Structure 1
Amino acid sequence: MELRRLRAMHEAGMSISAIARETGMNWRTVKKYLQAPPAVATSRGSPRKGCIPQTVTEYAPLIDAWLRSDITLRGTVIHERLVDQYGFPGHYQRVKLYLQEARPRIATELGLGPADMQGLHRRFEVFPGAQAQVDWGDEGGILAHFGIPKVYSFHMVLSYSRDPFCCFTTSMDLSTFWDCHRRAFSHFGGVPKTIVYDRTKTVVRQHVAPGRAVPLHPEAIAFAGHYDFDVDVLAAYRPTGKGRVEHQVTIVREHVLAGRSFSSILELDAAFATWVPIRRARVHRTHGEVIGIRARRDHAALRPLPRQPYVVADRHLRFVGKDCLIAFEASLYSVPARRVRPRQLVEVRAGADSVSLHLLAADTSGSTLLAVHPRAKIRGSWVVDEAHWDGLPDGHTRAVTTTVPEPTATQAAAAGSGTLTDWLARIPAAQVTVSRRPLTVYESLASVTPIVPGASKEPVNSKDTA
């Protein structure tokens, strides 16, 4: 029991015996504590005499300097750096307690707002048709048992009504991303005035420092210009700026995917289409209206779709192999053998559902198109048109036998009797024509005295001749 309560009861008019009966204590004990002088509270900031000062006090100027450079620096990071770089022997709790006092003080020095405002954001509402938000969801290996290792969900939500759209893909590349936009516009029946994105590489060409204008991807500029909407890119690490679609990703997982099994992308899309009427019949907790009724006003305010869709193709350069195949995304696609050569460079234009192969320069017919194939859904696939291999050896003339064939009449005549003389006569050297001359011709050319038959073969002495 707190002894301070005894003094409060006595000051309220209770006698010592009454306090003893109330608390169950002896009346002498109650009298002892009531007659003792009240304790004087000491300041927590000044250590008592003889106590060892806290270890973190020595590092306080360093911690303050780090907080001045980044007021949001986490305590775990500060403790880790102190231990790693300065050999700090203290526990993390010492750093944590110091930060509770130091962080508000440093924030006041820097002229920042109160710490209580951290983590809060401004709520906003929009007019019908004014805004939509876009985000990706990673659904993992939901179709891995059918050979599809990864499945992604594309989400677009109209900000005014919270009317959702979702479709499932096996890729998040450029062409797939904008093809999902076309499907979403068709689902809503129009185009919102602004679409909010995070800093995905299919929208942002380069990341820049806070406060600077974000350079957009060329295809994002062209697509937005064709469909007449504005691109709004959020600041880094601001997921609350598109909280409507962030929440929608979780809702789809819980209401469409959880507890079910699927065998294809088409089944996933069909499951979402079946759930949409259920979602639209609900009353949204934020705006308090039925989503479907509010969505009618949202759809009516959307901009109309253009007559011609804008098709985005992701372009790459690839070499033609000796087998008339090119490799793209770990799959092989065929090209006509009569129009290419080995190691020739061709352009691959990858759409969401198809892959077209083009020459870098038009041929004699003025066309660059080599082939169009459906895009492979599984890595390692072969997408081949057998007509592209027409004219190439296929091995249909090859044959083997276990008997020695009889020589033809021509081969037998050429072989002759088979003697060595006949063989020597058939070699190429025997076909060379050789001229025949008497030996005197060569002797005269060499200035050598001809040998007369029957004459003496002894050499002539020069002295006898003299």
Structure 2
Amino acid sequence: MLKGGSLMSVQDLLTQGKSLREIARETGFSRNTIRKYVRSGMAVQVQPRARRGSKLDAYKPLIHEWMDAGLFNCQVMLQRLRAQGYAGGMTLVKDYVQQFRPPKRQKATSRYETKPGEQAQVDWGICEYIDERGVHRKLPVFVMILGHSRATYIEFTRRCDIHSFLRCFAHAVEHFGGVPKVVLTDRMKTVVLGTNDDRTPIWHPVFLDFALAIGLTPKLCRVRRPQTKGKVERAVRFVKENFWVARRFTDLADLNRQALAWCYEIDQRIHGTTGERPCDLLPQEQLLPLPSPEALAKFLREERKVSMDGFVSFDGVRYGVPWQYSGRTVTVRQLRNQIEIWSEGVRIAVHEKSPRFNGLVRLQGQYSGLDAAQGATGPLPVARQVPMDSVDQRPLSVYAALAEVGA
């Protein structure tokens, strides 16, 4: 016999639409007992309540006409429905239209495969690391990828300025063994300074000189269309997700040694898009010949002024030079991990590139002779005393004539 709570439990399960078999399984009562109470009317099997009409029902044919014509903007629909006498709210319209709304259309693009030697794509990426003191820092990475072979070159720098860009670019073409015909970049400030009235780019003059010197044609990707240089976009992401994650290094030189080894390693793998190894396709690139070292030399040098305490600031580090060059303008160039400082065609100092940022690197014998010269970087205005017999003897008539002229 069902009483109290047991009867209420059966009633709730019947309301949920459960069958007699399911109710018997959940409550432990036999189906005959449950059936008896249902037939006696003590437990009434609830029928689904009839659905009430909606304020939108009369306007649904009109809504379907608009959707067939491509209108799915519910705000516009609501304004038009108000004009037709609709008294409901926006929620009813949105809920009804949502079930018929087509998926968002994506603008399709055709795939473009680059011909051998035709194009390289270049971009900067920013990687984050934790230094030995636990401080979070950022480090730029230069990435170049050849469009046909997918051969890759990466190099980490301290800055994203034009000199770092050209230095990395020169290292990249040396790594590939030639120069591509076209380089595709976005509108980075190290490459383009602005746009002319006819929408042609205003190239950075130093970069333009570099491109002309090595026979390179620079091109910009379309505005707000990064997929036009999608190869290097994916390469930057690949560097961050594959090379950079959990990477350990001691300094920038060690990091770039690891980066170069990684470039050789990934060029030995089968590329997911081409199905070929980049190292096998690289000979097909038909790259332009490498420029002479003299043609590249002037782009790998930077002019710097020596401070009065005998230091040159380069790439965030101060390097010492002989004190005699204080206040002069000198030329600094980086050859891999060496910093050379030149003045008027003479190399005045050589340093190993400092691994630390904002460091100070002294030169051995930097201040030799400073005290004796009293800090003067040029010859002092001095006279010289000579013996009496070496002084010129003049007749007295000469002095008398001079006296008359003065009178």
Pairwise TM-score range, normalised by the shorter structure: 0.5 to 0.7
3-state SS, counterpart of residue 177 of structure 1 = helix
Contact 1:129 1:193 in 2 (8 A): yes
Asked if 1:239 is matched to 2:226, the reply is yes
- How far did residue 248 of structure 1 move? 1.0
SS at 2:366 equivalent: helix
Deviation at 1:121, TM superposition (A): 3.7
The 1:334–1:233 alpha-carbon spacing in structure 2 relative to 1, beyond 3 Å, is same
Structure 1 residues 172 and 41: CA distance shift in structure 2, 3 A: same
Give the aligned partner of residue 173 of structure 1: 161
Q: Partners of 1:200 and 1:377 in 2: how far apart?
A: 27
Contact 2:154 2:263 in 1 (8 A): no
Deviations 1:418-442 (A, max 9, x none): xxxxxxxxxxxxxxxxxxxxxxxxx
Shift, 1:165, TM fit: 1.4
Task: Tell me the CA shift for residue 131 of structure 1.
Answer: 0.8
Q: Is the 8 Å Cα contact of residues 159 and 315 (structure 2) preserved in structure 1?
A: no
- Report how many residues are paired: 295
Question: CA 1:251–1:142 in 2, change beyond 3 Å: closer, same or farther?
Answer: farther
**Residues 205-224 of structure 1 aligned to structure 2 (within 5 Å):** 205-207=193-195, 212-224=199-211
Distance in 2 between residues matched to 1:318 and 1:179, nearest whole Å: 20
Displacement of 1:127 in angstroms is 1.1
Give the 3 Å change call, closer, same or farther, for CA 388–221 of structure 1 in structure 2: same
Match of 1:139 in 2: 127
Greater Rg by CA: 1
- Report the CA distance between 1:190 and its aligned residue: 1.1
Q: Residue 200 of structure 1: SS of its match in structure 2?
A: coil
Structure with more of its chain in strand, by fraction? 2
Cα contact 2:340–2:347 (8 A) shared by 1 = no
Q: Which residue of 337, 360, 366 maps to 1:388? A: 366
Which residue among 351, 356, 378 is the counterpart of 1:378? 356
CA displacement at 1:252 relative to structure 2: 2.3
Contact 1:143/1:264, CA 8 A, preserved across alignment: no
Q: CA deviation at 1:296?
A: 3.1
Aligned to 2:292: 307
CA-CA distance at 1:229 after TM superposition:
1.5
1:251 maps to what in 2? 238
SS of structure 2 residue aligned to 1:388? coil
Tell whether the 8 Å contact from 1:332 to 1:380 is kept in structure 2 after alignment.
yes
Structure 2: state its 5+ residue gaps. 1-46, 51-55, 64-76, 99-103, 373-407
Distance 1:50 1:148 in 2: 59
CA contact (8 A) 2:150 2:278 kept: yes
Question: Does residue 188 of the first structure (1) align with residue 176 of the second (2)?
Answer: yes
Matches within 5 A, 1:157-172: 157-172=145-160
* 1:42 maps to 2:59: yes
Specify whether residues 221 and 337 from structure 1 end up closer, same or farther in structure 2 by C-alpha distance, changes over 3 A only: same
- Supply the AA of the counterpart residue of 1:175: H
Contact preservation (8 Å) 1:153, 1:168: yes
CA distance in 2, matches of 1:316, 1:266: 23
TM-score between both structures, scaled by the size of structure 2: 0.59
Question: How well do the aligned residues superpose, as a CA RMSD in angstroms?
Answer: 4.3
Shift of 1:202: 1.8
Structure 1 residue runs without a partner (length 5+): 1-28, 34-38, 55-92, 101-114, 359-366, 395-466
1:424 corresponds in structure 2 to none
**Identity %, equivalent residues:** 26
Is the partner of 1:152 in helix, strand or coil?
Answer: strand
How far off its partner does 1:40 sit?
6.2
Amino acid paired to 1:179: R
1:310–1:148 Cα change, 3 Å = farther
